[in-house]
Structures are given as structure tokens and as C-alpha cells.
């Protein structure tokens, strides 16, 4: 910070040049470092409040062409927290009380200027404390709002997941329909349903403060989704250009979170072009060496995907660039300043990093560098429908819609199914019909938990495979499960093809 920036900016409202010099000499003699401007008219005072941006105002009470009370009124209208002190040669007790009631910070008599420096210092200290307190209160309110949003997101996500999971399971069966048109519509609905489930995962991730599930992503599809989100958000005078990478380009990540970060970059870029311009999103592969990484960053040379969002706006100064990722920093009149912090967290959670290139008048480019995964062998062919051979499968799911969907799916693929909606009925079914070949059970049940049901299965001498449907609760229940010989987890939401593959593998082991 330069010396000029450290100086106190003092606005003096005084018609007597001699009195002004005496006052400033007293402050300077006491060690205060300041730059001052003197005014004695209302127009000059109003202009100085805006252009000079004072840190403190010291005003006489009565002047031929201006009133100290009017100066105080204008200060409280235009800069409510600005320290304002009266210095007067004839200020009685009643006038002093009236001045403080109107909002003056303090008053000093001209006959006692020795008290002025301490009064100025106290006023500045109180103003700093008030600003700090107001900022802390504002941040507390923001935190409370985010906590409320987290609770809301958690509740909504569970409800949405319960709605979308049965649709996802049912639609997957349309992919093998005989009619081409039915298969095409089924694929479209399945893609939209999966998109909804990804949004649910991101909502839960936000609510828990953890990272959402990552998958192999087609970068082109991510950018297509981004273009759809921007279609109704960009002003008409902003032209969007997207340069996608080759069609087969993939990264490991969460599509919803990445689109959230890229959307933030794009909307910031659009706001930096109030008169219009071009917003360009470009994705390309880059090979990064060790020299690319800055001090304090993990050095991970290799193949990266660079997604750059560039605008033709007014650009940023070096001072603004240095504070971009500071909590609550914003250059907008309205906003929390948390958007770019969230972007950095998202990119960091993907093992990547952000670079910013900008200068005044030359636009800005935000570049996200994301590690590219190593090539993997082709995925094995999916299990054909009808792969079961009459194996007896006991399905235990509390939610009726999901239970019916899984029962129909498993039965349609050659298995004999008994479906019940709680652990107690499952044990009764075993006592009535004998031990099944395979048990498929939801780990999250209320009437009789998955752990308790599994323990009773062991007591009943069940030694077959137990397939547990579980999400994040998998970690918390693993240590409580009984020592059944074959326990496998099925990720929630259930992928029908993955479930059929696991059933086929366990059936083969049973027959071996």
C-alpha cells in the first residue's frame, strides 16, 4: 500500500482559512497523517463527499453561506457511517446535545483544540468497530441462510430421489424394447431422469458439505448442457460461442458441479459486458509440466483439459484479480461474493486448478484445468435379459413403488421372486418357504434395519449372497454387519443393468 493510500482523508467544513490552518496544525502536531480538503458551501461539500470520499468530516457549526447542521444531514443521507465532528467557538451545552441527537459523532470547542486529535482517533476507532460488527452480522446472516438452504436441499433431494428412482429403473427396461421408436424415447427419458438424479446428488453434496459422486463425463455433453442453461440467461447483446473438444474427450467428475462452476464464469463474463460482446467457451487438451504449477499448488504434471471462458468486457485491475477468490469480495452492487470461491472449491475437488488472465480494457479469461483420466479398456457387454434360471430371490424394500419395480425387473429376467416390504415379513417368508438363493435388501429400513435383518439371516443359517442397496450410509454400517460370507453393495440409485450383472455373477457362483 502506498503512503497516499494510508493517509486519512479529512474533509473540513470551515469558512475561516485561519481557523482551518490552526485546526490542521493541531492534528499534524499530534502525529495524525492526513490529506485535507476545505469547503464552505453546500455545492462544494456535496461534490467533496462524492469525489474526495473522506474518512472523517470536521465542521464548524455556523457559517455565512452554509450550516453545520445541514452538512451533518447531508452526510447522514449519503454516508451514514462517516465520522462527523463539530468544532465550534460558541457551542453551548444545549446545542451540543442537539448535535449529538442529530447524529454527530462528537464536538470540540475551538478554545480547547488540544482535545481534537483524541476525538478524531476515537471517532475513527468507533467507526472501524461498527463496520467490523456490521460485516460480522451480515456474514452471520449469510451463514444462517446457507444453513437453511442446506436443510431445504437435503429434504428436497430425498423427496426427488424417491420420485426419480422408480422412473429410472422402469425406463431402463425400455432400452431393450423391440420397437426402435420406443427405445429412442426410452433413452431420452432415461437421460433426463439421470440428469435429475445428478442434480439430487449435488443438492445432497451441498447440504452435507461433501463432494458429489464422480463419473466419466463426455465433455461435449457437459458443454451442450451449459449452452442450454445459458440460452435464457444471457442478454441479447451477448453472443455465445462454444468450441468443444473432439467427441470422445472424457473427464472424471460431476456434471452438475462442473456446469455450476462454468455457468458462474459465463454469467460473470456477461455482466462484464454491459454494452454487449462475445462470450467464448473453448475446451482443449493441454500437457502441463511441473513449471506450470504455482507455489503451494500440488505439482501433478500430465494431461489436462483446459476449459476457458473468455469475454470481451472491461477487464480487471491487478488489485481486483488478487482478491477474486477472497470470501465475500465482490465488485457488484448486489451479491455475496461467494460464487468464485465455490468455483475454486469445485475445480479443486476435481483435482484441477484455475487461472485468470485479465487487464483493463482487454477482457477476461477464466481457465479451469481438469486432469484427464487414463484410457480404460472397453466396458464388458451388458448382461442380456433373461439371464436368470429360476433362482429364488428374496427382495426386501420398504417403499412400495421401488419394491414393485425391482420385483418386475428381476422376475422379467428369469428369477423366482418373493417381495416383501420389511425385515419381519422377510424372516416370516423364509420360515414359510425356506432359504432363498439370493437376498436383495435395502440397507436403509425403519421397521427392522438392514443390519438387524442381516443378523437374523445369519442366525437362520443363511449363507448365500446378500446384496445391499446403499448410498452414503454404506460407510457407517459396514462395521456393524454380521460375518455373512458374501455381502455386496449395490449403489443407490439402482442401475438395472448393474443389478442384473451382479445377480448373474452371484447365480453363477451359486451353481459352481
User: Exposed, middle or buried, 358 (CB in 10 Å: 0-12/13-18/19+)?
Assistant: buried
Q: For 384, which DSSP code?
A: P
CB contact set of 226 (below 8 Å; sequence gap of 6+): 242, 259, 262, 263, 266, 281
- What pLDDT was estimated at residue 357? 93
Q: Is the distance from CB of 156 to CB of 203 less than 8 angstroms?
A: yes
Tell me what pLDDT residue 337 has: 45
**What integer best gives the mean pLDDT of the chain?**
83
**Residue 224 pLDDT grade (very low, low, confident, very high; cuts 50, 70, 90):** confident
Helix axes 255-271, 180-208, angle to 10 degrees: 80
Does the structure show a pLDDT above 60 at 92? yes
pLDDT tens for 460-499 read 989 889 998 887 667 667 777 888 888 888 887 787 878 8
**Which cell numbers in the block locate residue 487?**
455381502
* 386 has pLDDT over 90: no
280: three-class secondary structure by DSSP: strand
Higher pLDDT among residues 143 and 120, named by residue: 120
> Peptide bond preceding 380: is omega within 30 degrees of 0, i.e. cis?
no
- For residue 251, what are the contacts with CB-CB under 8 A and spacing of at least 6? 216, 217, 219, 305, 350, 370, 371, 372, 373
Distance between CA atoms of residues 360 and 379, nearest Å? 49
Domains of the chain: residue spans and CATH = 3-131 (3.40.50.2300), 217-292+300-375 (3.30.565.10), 392-511 (3.40.50.2300)
Per-residue pLDDT, 286: 93
Better-predicted residue by pLDDT, 352 or 399: 352
Looking at residue 453, its pLDDT comes to 87
Q: Which residues contact 333 (CB under 8 A, 6 or more apart)?
A: none
Strands of the sheet with 438-442, listed across from one edge: 416-420, 392-396, 438-442, 465-470, 486-491
Classified as helix, coil or strand, 264 is: helix
Taking residues 255-261, report their average pLDDT: 84
Residue pair 454/446 in contact by the 8 Å Cβ criterion: no
pLDDT at residue 238 in the model: 93
Mean pLDDT, range 7-23, rounded to an integer = 93
The pLDDT assigned to 283 comes to: 95
Confidence check: pLDDT of 285 > 80: yes
Report the pLDDT averaged over residues 279-283: 95
Q: pLDDT-based confidence at 2, cuts 50/70/90?
A: very low
Dist CA 207 CA 197 (whole Å): 15
- Among 136-140, 232-236, 421-425, top mean pLDDT goes to 421-425
| Stretch 360-365: mean pLDDT | 91
Identify the band that residue 214 occupies on the pLDDT scale cut at 50, 70 and 90. Answer: low
Q: For residue 457, give the C-alpha cell.
A: 439371516
pLDDT average, residue stretch 434-442:
91
Whether the pLDDT of residue 327 is over 70: the answer is no
Does residue 19 register a pLDDT over 50? yes
Place of cell 418373493: 418
Question: In 104-182, at which residue ranges do the beta strands (DSSP E only) sit?
Answer: 106-109
Average pLDDT over residues 86-90: 84
For residue 380, the model assigns a pLDDT of 45
Maximal C-alpha separation, the chain: 108
Residues 405, 385: Cα–Cα separation, whole Å: 16
Higher pLDDT, 91 or 134: 134
Distance CA 93, CA 114 (A): 19
Q: How confident is the model at residue 212 (pLDDT cuts 50, 70, 90)?
A: low
**Would the pLDDT of 83 be above 80?**
yes
Can you state the angle between helices 339-349 and 255-271, rounded to 10 degrees?
Answer: 140
Residue 265 has pLDDT above 50, yes or no: yes
Go through 404-418 and write b for each residue having 16 or more CB atoms within 10 A of its CB, e for each that does not: bbbbebbeebbbebb
pLDDT category at 170 given cuts 50, 70, 90 is: low
Confidence at residue 277, expressed as pLDDT on a 0 to 100 scale: 93
Residue 146 is predicted with a pLDDT of: 65
Cα angle 128, 134, 135; round to 5 = 90
Amino acid at each position: 500500500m502506498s503512503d497516499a493510500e494510508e493517509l486519512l482523508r479529512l474533509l473540513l467544513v470551515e469558512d475561516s482559512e485561519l481557523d482551518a490552518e490552526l485546526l490542521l496544525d493541531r492534528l499534524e502536531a499530534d502525529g495524525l497523517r492526513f490529506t485535507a480538503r476545505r469547503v464552505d458551501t453546500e455545492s462544494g461539500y456535496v461534490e467533496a463527499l462524492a469525489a474526495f470520499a473522506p474518512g472523517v468530516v470536521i465542521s464548524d457549526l455556523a457559517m455565512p453561506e452554509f450550516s453545520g447542521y445541514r452538512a451533518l444531514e447531508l452526510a447522514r443521507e449519503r454516508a451514514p457511517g462517516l465520522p462527523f465532528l463539530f468544532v465550534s467557538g460558541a457551542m453551548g451545552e444545549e446545542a451540543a446535545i442537539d448535535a449529538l441527537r442529530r447524529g454527530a459523532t462528537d464536538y470540540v470547542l475551538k478554545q480547547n483544540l488540544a482535545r481534537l486529535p483524541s476525538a478524531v482517533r476515537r471517532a475513527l476507532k468507533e467507526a472501524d468497530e461498527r463496520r467490523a460488527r456490521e460485516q460480522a452480522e451480515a456474514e452471520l446472516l449469510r451463514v444462517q441462510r446457507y444453513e437453511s438452504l442446506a436443510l431445504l436441499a437435503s429434504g428436497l433431494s430425498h423427496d426427488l430421489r424417491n420420485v426419480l428412482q422408480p422412473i429410472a429403473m422402469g425406463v431402463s427396461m425400455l432400452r431393450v424394447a423391440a420397437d426402435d421408436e420406443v427405445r429412442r424415447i426410452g433413452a431420452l427419458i432415461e437421460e433426463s431422469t439421470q440428469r435429475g438424479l445428478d442434480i439430487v446428488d449435488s443438492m445432497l453434496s451441498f447440504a452435507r458439505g461433501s463432494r458429489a459422486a464422480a463419473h466419466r463425463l463426455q465433455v461435449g455433453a457437459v458443454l451442450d448442457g451449459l449452452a442450454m442453461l445459458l440460452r435464457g440467461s444471457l442478454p441479447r447483446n451477448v453472443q455465445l460461442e462454444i468450441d468443444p473438444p473432439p467427441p470422445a474427450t472424457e473427464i472424471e467428475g460431476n456434471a452438475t458441479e462442473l456446469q455450476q462452476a462454468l455457468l458462474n464464469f459465463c454469467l460473470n463474463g456477461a455482466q462484464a459486458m454491459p454494452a454487449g460482446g462475445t462470450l467464448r467457451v473453448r475446451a482443449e487438451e493441454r500437457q502441463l509440466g511441473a513449471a506450470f504449477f504455482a507455489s503451494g499448488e500440488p505439482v501433478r504434471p500430465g494431461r489436462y483439459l483446459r476449459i476457458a471462458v473468455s469475454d470481451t468486457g472491461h477487464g480487471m485491475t491487478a488489485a481486483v484479480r488478487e482478491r477474486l477468490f477472497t470470501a465475500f469480495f465482490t465488485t457488484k452492487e448486489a451479491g455475496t461474493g461467494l460464487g468464485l470461491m465455490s468455483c475454486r472449491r469445485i475445480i479443486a475437488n476435481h483435482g484441477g486448478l484455475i487461472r485468470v488472465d485479465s487487464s483493463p480494457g482487454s477482457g477476461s479469461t477464466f481457465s479451469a484445468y481438469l486432469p484427464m483420466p487414463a484410457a480404460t479398456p472397453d466396458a464388458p457387454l451388458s448382461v442380456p435379459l433373461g439371464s436368470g434360471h429360476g433362482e429364488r430371490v428374496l427382495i426386501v424394500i420398504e417403499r412400495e413403488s421401488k419394491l414393485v419395480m425391482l420385483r418386475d425387473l428381476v422376475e422379467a429376467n428369469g428369477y423366482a421372486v418373493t417381495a416383501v416390504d420389511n425385515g419381519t415379513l422377510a424372516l416370516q417368508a423364509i420360515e414359510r418357504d425356506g432359504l432363498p438363493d439370493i437376498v436383495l435388501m435395502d440397507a436403509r429400513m425403519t421397521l427392522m434395519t438392514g443390519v438387524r435383518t442381516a443378523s437374523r439371516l445369519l442366525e437362520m443359517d443363511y449363507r448365500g449372497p446378500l446384496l445391499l442397496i446403499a448410498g452414503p450410509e454404506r460407510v457407517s454400517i459396514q462395521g456393524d454387519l454380521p460375518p455373512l460370507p458374501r455381502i455386496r453393495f449395490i449403489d443407490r440409485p439402482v442401475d438395472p443393468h448393474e443389478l442384473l450383472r451382479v445377480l448373474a455373477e452371484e447365480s453363477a457362483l451359486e451353481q459352481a
